[in-house]
Amino acid sequence: MSAILSKDATFTVKGSIWIECNGSRFFGPGPVELLERIDNTGSINQAAKQMQMSYKKAWEIIHRLNANAVVPLVETNQGGKHGGGSTISKEAREMIAFYRQMREKFSKFLEQAENQLNQ
């Protein structure tokens, strides 16, 4: 690359990674954050508020996650005396871990490509 690119410039390589299902985004940074916030708060509503996301949008993401998984990734409990609540399944935790590993490998790839450009 040294014969192609200017020596007076610094180049960066950027990228984003997500998982698609049937051509549509399924799992990425937004759903991961939503799942983690549901796990921390026990509430879809609170998780959505923390993300400055509408409750409707949060439910759309949850519906898409649950519809494309063998078991629900988010489990909801009906309201009642103490209100409802939501939890994430062990499968959701596995998906989060898989995504984080994939993202780590992707970050290393981007760093290596950037190093090659700037040699």
Q: How far is CA 83 from CA 44, 80, 91, 104, 117, in A?
A: 12, 5, 25, 38, 55
Residue 117 contacts residue 9 (beta carbons within 8 Å):
no
Mean pLDDT of the chain: 92
Taking each helix axis from N to C end, the angle separating 29-41 and 55-67, rounded to the nearest 10 degrees, works out to 100
Which pLDDT value is given to residue 3?
A: 78
How does pLDDT run across 23-53, given as a tens digit for each residue? 999 999 999 999 999 999 999 999 999 999 9
Taking each helix axis from N to C end, the angle separating 29-41 and 90-117, rounded to the nearest 10 degrees, works out to 140
Q: pLDDT grade, residue 8 (50/70/90)?
A: confident
Report all structural domains of the chain as residue ranges with CATH numbers, in order of start. 19-114 (1.10.10.10)
Nearest to 61, CA basis, from 86, 40, 80, 98 = 86
How far is residue 100's CA from residue 102's CA, in Å, rounded to a whole number?
Answer: 5
Q: pLDDT grade, residue 18 (50/70/90)?
A: very high
Which pLDDT value is given to residue 119?
A: 83
